[in-house]
Amino acid sequence: MANTETALKEALTSIEGATGVALVDYTSGMALGTMGGGKSFDLNVAAAGNTDVIRAKMRTMEHLGLKGEIEDILITLSNQYHLIRLLKGRGGNGLFLYLVLDQARANLAMARHQLKRIEEVLEV
Protein backbone atom coordinates (compact mmCIF):
# COMPACT_ATOMS: atom_id res chain seq x y z
CA MET A 1 0.00 0.00 0.00
CA ALA A 2 1.24 3.48 -0.87
CA ASN A 3 0.44 6.74 0.85
CA THR A 4 -0.48 9.85 -1.13
CA GLU A 5 3.04 11.28 -1.36
CA THR A 6 4.55 7.96 -2.46
CA ALA A 7 1.82 7.40 -5.07
CA LEU A 8 2.19 10.91 -6.51
CA LYS A 9 5.97 10.58 -6.63
CA GLU A 10 5.68 7.22 -8.39
CA ALA A 11 3.28 8.67 -10.98
CA LEU A 12 5.56 11.61 -11.69
CA THR A 13 8.75 9.55 -11.96
CA SER A 14 7.56 6.28 -13.50
CA ILE A 15 5.06 7.50 -16.10
CA GLU A 16 6.92 8.66 -19.21
CA GLY A 17 6.11 12.28 -20.05
CA ALA A 18 4.41 13.10 -16.73
CA THR A 19 4.87 16.75 -15.79
CA GLY A 20 2.35 17.07 -12.95
CA VAL A 21 0.07 14.96 -10.79
CA ALA A 22 -2.50 15.63 -8.09
CA LEU A 23 -4.88 13.75 -5.81
CA VAL A 24 -8.11 15.74 -5.70
CA ASP A 25 -11.35 15.67 -3.69
CA TYR A 26 -14.08 16.41 -6.24
CA THR A 27 -16.68 17.20 -3.59
CA SER A 28 -14.68 20.27 -2.54
CA GLY A 29 -12.36 20.79 -5.52
CA MET A 30 -9.32 20.85 -3.26
CA ALA A 31 -6.06 19.07 -4.06
CA LEU A 32 -5.04 16.74 -1.23
CA GLY A 33 -1.55 16.50 -2.68
CA THR A 34 0.36 17.70 -5.74
CA MET A 35 3.72 17.13 -7.39
CA GLY A 36 5.23 18.76 -10.44
CA GLY A 37 3.42 21.48 -12.32
CA GLY A 38 5.39 24.65 -11.76
CA LYS A 39 5.02 28.40 -11.92
CA SER A 40 3.40 28.28 -15.35
CA PHE A 41 1.02 25.44 -14.41
CA ASP A 42 -0.79 25.69 -11.06
CA LEU A 43 -2.04 22.21 -10.16
CA ASN A 44 -4.38 23.60 -7.49
CA VAL A 45 -6.20 25.71 -10.08
CA ALA A 46 -6.31 22.73 -12.45
CA ALA A 47 -7.68 20.51 -9.65
CA ALA A 48 -10.57 22.89 -8.99
CA GLY A 49 -11.34 23.28 -12.70
CA ASN A 50 -11.31 19.56 -13.38
CA THR A 51 -13.71 19.05 -10.49
CA ASP A 52 -16.23 20.96 -12.60
CA VAL A 53 -15.53 18.62 -15.54
CA ILE A 54 -16.33 15.56 -13.39
CA ARG A 55 -19.46 17.10 -11.92
CA ALA A 56 -20.72 18.06 -15.39
CA LYS A 57 -20.14 14.56 -16.75
CA MET A 58 -21.88 12.96 -13.77
CA ARG A 59 -24.89 15.27 -14.22
CA THR A 60 -25.05 14.43 -17.92
CA MET A 61 -24.89 10.70 -17.20
CA GLU A 62 -27.69 11.09 -14.66
CA HIS A 63 -29.88 13.01 -17.13
CA LEU A 64 -29.27 10.33 -19.76
CA GLY A 65 -29.96 7.51 -17.31
CA LEU A 66 -26.53 5.96 -17.88
CA LYS A 67 -25.68 3.39 -15.21
CA GLY A 68 -21.96 2.87 -15.91
CA GLU A 69 -19.16 4.39 -13.85
CA ILE A 70 -16.55 6.81 -15.11
CA GLU A 71 -13.12 5.15 -15.24
CA ASP A 72 -11.19 8.08 -16.62
CA ILE A 73 -11.60 11.25 -18.63
CA LEU A 74 -9.07 12.34 -21.24
CA ILE A 75 -8.59 15.92 -22.35
CA THR A 76 -6.28 16.30 -25.33
CA LEU A 77 -4.55 19.63 -25.94
CA SER A 78 -2.21 20.42 -28.80
CA ASN A 79 0.84 19.57 -26.67
CA GLN A 80 -0.50 17.84 -23.54
CA TYR A 81 -2.75 15.08 -22.33
CA HIS A 82 -4.75 15.64 -19.16
CA LEU A 83 -5.91 12.37 -17.62
CA ILE A 84 -8.50 12.29 -14.84
CA ARG A 85 -8.95 8.92 -13.10
CA LEU A 86 -11.73 8.51 -10.54
CA LEU A 87 -10.71 6.34 -7.59
CA LYS A 88 -12.67 3.28 -6.58
CA GLY A 89 -12.68 1.42 -3.26
CA ARG A 90 -10.64 1.78 -0.05
CA GLY A 91 -11.79 5.30 0.82
CA GLY A 92 -11.34 6.59 -2.71
CA ASN A 93 -14.96 7.62 -3.15
CA GLY A 94 -15.08 11.29 -4.14
CA LEU A 95 -11.40 11.40 -5.15
CA PHE A 96 -9.56 11.46 -8.45
CA LEU A 97 -6.01 11.33 -9.70
CA TYR A 98 -5.15 14.08 -12.17
CA LEU A 99 -2.14 13.54 -14.44
CA VAL A 100 -0.61 16.00 -16.90
CA LEU A 101 1.48 14.50 -19.70
CA ASP A 102 3.77 16.02 -22.32
CA GLN A 103 2.19 14.72 -25.50
CA ALA A 104 5.52 14.44 -27.35
CA ARG A 105 7.01 12.10 -24.72
CA ALA A 106 4.00 10.21 -23.38
CA ASN A 107 2.53 6.87 -24.33
CA LEU A 108 -1.14 7.38 -23.45
CA ALA A 109 -2.03 3.68 -23.24
CA MET A 110 0.89 2.99 -20.88
CA ALA A 111 0.09 6.07 -18.81
CA ARG A 112 -3.49 4.89 -18.31
CA HIS A 113 -2.26 1.41 -17.37
CA GLN A 114 0.30 2.74 -14.88
CA LEU A 115 -2.15 5.21 -13.33
CA LYS A 116 -4.63 2.36 -12.78
CA ARG A 117 -1.88 0.33 -11.09
CA ILE A 118 -0.98 3.27 -8.83
CA GLU A 119 -4.65 3.70 -7.94
CA GLU A 120 -4.85 0.05 -6.88
CA VAL A 121 -2.09 0.41 -4.27
CA LEU A 122 -2.98 3.94 -3.09
CA GLU A 123 -4.09 3.99 0.55
CA VAL A 124 -6.16 7.10 1.26
Model confidence over 32-85: pLDDT tens digits? Answer: 999 998 888 999 999 999 999 999 999 999 999 999 899 999 999 999 999 999
4-121 maps to CATH 3.30.450.30: yes
Q: Please report, as a single letter, which amino acid is at residue 58.
A: M
Report pLDDT for 7: 92
Report pLDDT for 91: 57
Q: What percent of the chain has pLDDT over 70?
A: 96
Q: What is the distance between the alpha carbons of residues 58 and 39, in angstroms, rounded to a whole number?
A: 31
Q: Enter the pTM of the model.
A: 0.93
**Average pLDDT taken over every residue of the chain:** 92
Strands 72-76 and 30-36: unpaired
Report pLDDT for 123: 83
**Residues sharing a CB contact under 8 Å with residue 41, sequence separation 6 or more, in sequence order:** 19, 20, 100
Residue 87 has pLDDT above 60, yes or no: yes
